[in-house]
Chain A
Amino acid sequence: MTNTIADIETSDLILVTGSNTTENHPVLSSFVKRATLKGKKLYIIDPRKIKLTEYADKWLRPLPGTDIAWINGLMHIIIKEGLQNTAFIKDRTENFEALKTLVETYTPEHVEAVTGIKTGDLVEVARAFAKAPAASILYCMGITQHTCGTDNVKSLANLSMLCGHLGKPGGGVNPLRGQNNVQGACDMGGLPNVFTAYQPVGNDEARNTYEKAWSVTGLPKNPGLVVTEMVQRAHEGSLKALFIIGENPMVSDPDLNHARKAFQRLDFLVVQDIFHTETAQMADVVLPAFCFAEKDGTFTNTERRVQRVRKAVEAPGEAREDWRILCDMAGRMGYEMSYASSRDIFKEIAAVTPSYRGITWERIDKVGIHWPCPTEAHEGTPILHTTQFTRGKGLFHALAHTPPAELPDRDYPFILTTGRVLYHYHTGTMTMKTQGLNVLSPECFVEISESDATKMALDTGAMVAVSSRRGKITAKLKVSSKAVEGTVFIPFHFAEAAANELTNAKLDPTAKIPEFKVCAIKIEAV
């Protein structure tokens, strides 16, 4: 997030898109709901009529996979009516003319034809967003999990810059991170192209720094493979071994059929986890690890706040801390990695990570600190881009709408979109161990609109077979007011009816993120 969670409550207008906030970020959604109690405006632009729409001034419903079109449409109206922030554009950005030219064709009529959003609604949101003293954009995987995910995000940044809503309290472009330490995993260089703090592996200076700090030579300079590419290479046979820590791709990956074959072709699979997951069951070696309650360390949350994790209980049996297992492995492979405690590891992190340099466990003992925090005297950075952007001037990207990789047709007439429910987390390995959560959300379901169900003469509770060109699952139908005609939602938590048997593994070319939010399916009674 460019801004903080607390900041949401100070916004004059909140635009939520591609985020089912009350179910995926429940506590953060309270900040949004409290803002509406204070009379702040709330607009939701989402394919599903999610719970948060009940609190909103208006809900706009785009066809899944048409985000660039409506964002360009908003900018078209704002520019046409002269509501853009000219001072911000002049002082803080570049390439505005290219954007202006591109969005000229995104008239409200054209946008309505592509997205289904009514002209009047689009105009209302455009005016309110541009005129608000501070407007915040909250988004999540509904924006990113598309073949045009990167361009979707850039388009939201365009919109925010156009109105000068960046770099100030109550504004910002705010991605809501879905897992406890997904921010930290990225910050720590758990990515194929960067070391910690996003220092490129291709940068000679960065590699030199790390070679010195780690006393090694020959650190690889070419970026590696992302998760989805690793699966592809395993399928092709050029990736021979996989070491998986705390992940369950056999439920969370797209097109599971394909992924399963890929994993079977590996020469060697190691899984380090706390449970015997679907993925662990396929492994040649399974290593038992600690869970969060058994560890000392830090997580970094969605607002870039580095916070302490503290050991509360002893781990079961012979389980070990993740870092200790890896250090033991390194030693056996001829490289000594030895730390007395995870606090010592954090000290090394701070030494080689510019944005974490000023953070110590002592400093975050009571309250976490937002990175970047370059020195121990620095208080951290709750709001990014207050005086300039990372690259200097903010760059407008002129981006055209591109349709999803797979659209419904006669054989597969429905659009499938996937996500989570309130009561479960990701592949359910943790939440499904709590009985009460299973009572509240016992099984997979196929959320469908009343009109679609009526057409098929089916009702809630009917067992249906759902199939795509890649796979088939069986689950109960659930008629819901959240669903809109033509679009079906299935949660991906449930291994026994895994939505990812159906999903499309087509990737965004830059972020390599799969298009989980749009694929074509058919539904049949069983």
Chain B
Amino acid sequence: MDQDTIIINGNHLVFRSGETILETARRNHIDIPTLCHLKNAIPTHTCKICQVEVMGEPALVESCAAKAKQGMTILTDSPKVIEARKEVIKGLLASGYHNCAAREMDAKDWTSFQLTVLKNDGKEDLCPVWGDCELQDLAYRYQVKTRHTPSKECRYDTERANPFIIRDFSRCILCGRCVKACREIQVNNAIEFGYAGDDLKIIAKNDATLKDSDCVFCGECLQACPVGALVPDKAFRDHRFKDTRKIRTTCSFCGVGCQMDVFVQDNKIVKIDGADTDLPPNHASLCVKGRFGYEFVASPERLTRPLIKKDGKQVEASWEEALDLVAQKLSAIKSESGPDSIGVMTSARITNEDNYIAQKFTRAVLKTNNIDHCARL
């Protein structure tokens, strides 16, 4: 046998030095579910979902924390593992207000339940991440039924005081992903675990609302939250079953060039997430402007028709009229006062293709080098 190999579900896999079982598995496209693990952060191992069976070990092992060791033989879906995961999921569902299908329904009723939900969508107590929740997915996958388990009452009110982010503590499973995202990925150090025992809560400094704390609303926590504890204030609640398209593009604010996924419904942006954790330059991080500052795109204040100043007032005009006027005016000024009497300010906001055409137009058509943009401002 080669050095540095482990056997997962019968597959001989090479592991890299220092890698955890979970990392080796994921690199090889073997799915081990987790709720608390966050890539590029130190494992919290709070959720226990990622437990696997390691031959020769008396107890199950948390794959996010255990390092791969030469010759390890691992089972990720043995009956023992599945039974343990079911127990964990059951406990998590009972830990708060998880009124989703998995909690209420037998699997055979799933389809009819979905139809009912579709009919009654918009109901206030339907979880805003229904259908987009990692806990719900797991509950369904492992067929966890919790019909007769009472759920814990939450002593903390939902925080709706902030722009962009709603914090619903009744749905928080205290996995700690948001804390990792805040302290180890963005390093904004705004939130942490507070209180103890049954009172455990994710808090900002002095348990203030996010808007009165050091929070800078980058939304890294929101993106990391596996459940419905952190949701955008404009969740697509009412639209969640509509067709959603996801488009990868580049952010339009500062020069970092973050890669992001834009979610579109009915020709409107409804959400923006950071792209893949593996993708430079931002590795899935975004800032408050990039993540939430997209309302301008669909703003009713957008210009929609050309305007021409007539008698000192700007009035709507057709493209034909506007383009004819500009071409005629520029041509006249060029011939009367010379090409250098015209200037073009191109833009640091438009594409390379647009900019290239702007300088080509200036140099080849207007015949001047009077072209510049706001780089200095």
Among A66-74, A119-127, A316-324, the one that faces the other chain is: A316-324
- Interface 9-mer from A56-64, A215-223, A446-454, A480-488: A215-223
Q: A405 interface residue, CB < 8 Å from B?
A: no
Q: Are B354 and A218 in contact (CB under 8 A)?
A: no
Taking a contact as CB atoms under 8 Å apart, the answer to whether B185 and A312 are in contact is no
CB of B81 within 8 Å of the partner chain: no
Does A102 sit at the interface, judged by CB under 8 A? Answer: no
Is B110 part of the binding interface, using a Cβ–Cβ cutoff of 8 Å? Answer: no
Binds B, one of A79-87, A155-163, A245-253: A245-253
Q: Does B359 sit at the interface, judged by CB under 8 A?
A: yes
CB–CB A224/B368 < 8 A: yes
Contacts of A281 in B (CB 8 A): 314
A287 to B316, CA, bound (A): 10
Q: Does A406 contact B (CB under 8 A)?
A: no
- Cβ of B285: which chain A residues have Cβ within 8 Å of it? 27, 30
B249 touches A308 (CB 8 A): yes
A462 interface residue per 8 A CB criterion = no
Interface residue? B254 (CB, 8 A): yes
Judge if A65 is at the interface, Cβ distance under 8 Å: no
Decide: B358 and A349 in contact? CB cutoff 8 A.
no
Q: Tell me the interface secondary structure of chain B in the complex.
A: mixed
Q: Are A252 and B377 in contact (CB under 8 A)?
A: yes
Smallest CB gap from B376: residue in A: A513
In the assembled complex, the CB of A248 is this many whole angstroms from the nearest CB of chain B, namely 9
Chain A stretch 167-206: residues in CB contact (< 8 A) with chain B: 176-193, 195-196, 201
Binds A, one of B71-79, B120-128, B139-147, B339-347: B339-347
Question: Which of A5, A30, A183, A223 has the most CB atoms of chain B within a 10 A radius of its CB?
Answer: A30
The answer to the question of A25 belonging to the interface, with a C-beta cut-off of 8 Å to chain B, is yes
CB contacts (< 8 Å) of A25 on chain B: these are 254-256
Residue count of chain B within 8 Å CB distance of chain A: 108
- Quick one: which of B254-283 are within 8 Å of A by CB? 254-259, 262, 264, 267-269, 279-282
The residues of A that contact B249 with a CB separation of less than 8 Å are 292-293, 308-310, 312
Does B350 reach chain A (CB closer than 8 Å)? Answer: yes
Chain A residues whose CB sits within 8 angstroms of the CB of B216 once the complex forms: 22, 26, 422
A4 at the interface (CB under 8 A from B): yes
**Interface contact B333-A268, CB-CB below 8 Å:** yes
Q: Are B326 and A238 in contact (CB under 8 A)?
A: no
Q: Interface-forming stretch among B58-66, B97-105, B296-304?
A: B296-304
User: Is B186 within 8 A of A224, CB to CB?
Assistant: no
Instruction: For residue B239, give the distance in angstroms from its CB to the closest CB of chain A.
Output: 15
A257 at the A/B interface (Cβ < 8 Å)?
no
Chain A, residue nearest B344 (CB): A243
**Binary flags per residue of A236-278, CB closer than 8 Å to B gives 1, else 0:** 0011111111110100111000000000000110100111100
B198 at interface, CB cutoff 8 A = no
0 or 1 for each of B358-376: is its CB under 8 Å from A? (1 = yes): 1111011101111111111
B353 contacts partner chain A, Cβ-Cβ < 8 Å = yes
Nearest A residue to B263 via CB reads A312
User: Within the assembled complex, what's the spacing in Å between the Cα atoms of A319 and B303?
Assistant: 7
Give the residues in chain B near A34, CB-CB below 8 Å.
Answer: 184-185, 187
| Chain A residues within an 8 Å CB radius of B187 | 30, 33-34, 36-37, 55
Return the CB mask of B167-191 against A: 1 if under 8 Å, else 0: 0000000000000000011110000
User: What residues of chain B lie closer than 8 Å to A286, measured between beta carbons?
Assistant: 303, 306-308, 314
Residues of B within 8 A of A201 (CB): 363, 369
Task: Name the A residues within 8 Å of B15 (CB-CB).
Answer: none
Q: Is the CB of B253 within 8 A of A425?
A: yes
Between-chain CB contacts (< 8 Å), 5 pairs? A181-B355, A292-B249, A317-B302, A332-B323, A422-B288
Known contacts: A316-B302, A319-B304, A435-B295. The answer to whether A190 contacts B258 by CB under 8 A is no
With beta carbons under 8 angstroms apart, the residue of B217, B282, B296, B327 that contacts A291 is: B296
- Pick the residue among A27, A313, A342 that contacts B297 (CB under 8 A): A313
- B257–A301 contact, CB under 8 A? yes
Residues of the A chain whose Cβ atoms lie less than 8 Å from the Cβ of B323: 325, 328-329, 332
Known: A430-B296, A440-B211. A241 touches B333 (CB 8 A): yes
Chain B residues near A183 (CB-CB < 8 A): 255
Report if B194 contacts A (CB, 8 A): no
B347 to chain A, nearest CB (A): 3
A241 touching B330, Cβ below 8 Å: yes
A284: Cβ under 8 A from any B Cβ: yes
Are B342 and A240 in touch, CB under 8 angstroms? yes
- Binary per-residue interface labels of chain B (298-325) against chain A in the complex, 1 for a CB within 8 Å, 0 otherwise: 1101111111110000100001001111
Alpha-carbon distance between A274 and B252 when the two chains are bound, in angstroms: 13
Query: Could you list which residues of chain B lie within 8 angstroms of chain A, going by C-beta atoms?
Result: 163-164, 184-187, 211, 216-218, 233, 245, 247-259, 262, 264, 267-269, 279-282, 285-290, 292-299, 301-309, 314, 319, 322-331, 333, 337, 339-361, 363-365, 367-377
Choice from A24, A55, A193, A246 contacting B254 with Cβ under 8 Å: A24
Q: Which listed residue (B264, B288, B348, B370) contacts A437, Cβ 8 A?
A: B288
**How distant is B323 from chain A, measured CB to nearest CB, in Å?**
5
Q: Which of B254, B262, B302, B358 is the most central at the interface, judged by chain A CB atoms within 10 Å of its CB? A: B254
Q: Is A346's CB under 8 angstroms from B353's CB?
A: yes
Residues of A within 8 A of B295 (CB): 433-435
Q: Are A228 and B257 in contact (CB under 8 A)?
A: no
Inter-subunit contact A27/B355 (CB<8 Å): no
- Please indicate the chain A residues that have their CB under 8 angstroms from the CB of B293 in the complex: 425, 430-431, 434, 437
How many angstroms between the C-alpha atoms of A33 and B187 in the bound complex? 6
Q: Are B368 and A431 within 8 A (Cβ)? A: no
Other than the known A249-B374, A288-B305, what 18 A-B pairs have Cβ atoms closer than 8 Å?
Answer: A5-B280, A27-B282, A27-B285, A182-B373, A191-B372, A220-B339, A239-B341, A243-B345, A246-B347, A247-B349, A298-B351, A299-B351, A302-B257, A303-B281, A314-B267, A323-B354, A326-B354, A366-B279
Please tell me if the beta carbons of A226 and B257 are within 8 angstroms of each other in the complex: no
Closest-by-CB residue of A relative to B304 is A317
**A176 surroundings in chain B (CB, below 8 A):** 254-255
Of all A-B residue pairs in the complex, the 4 with the closest CB atoms, nearest first, are A317-B304, A301-B257, A436-B163, A297-B351
Return chain B residues, CB-CB under 8 Å to A274. Answer: 296, 302-303
For A267, the chain B residues whose CB sits under 8 A away are 333
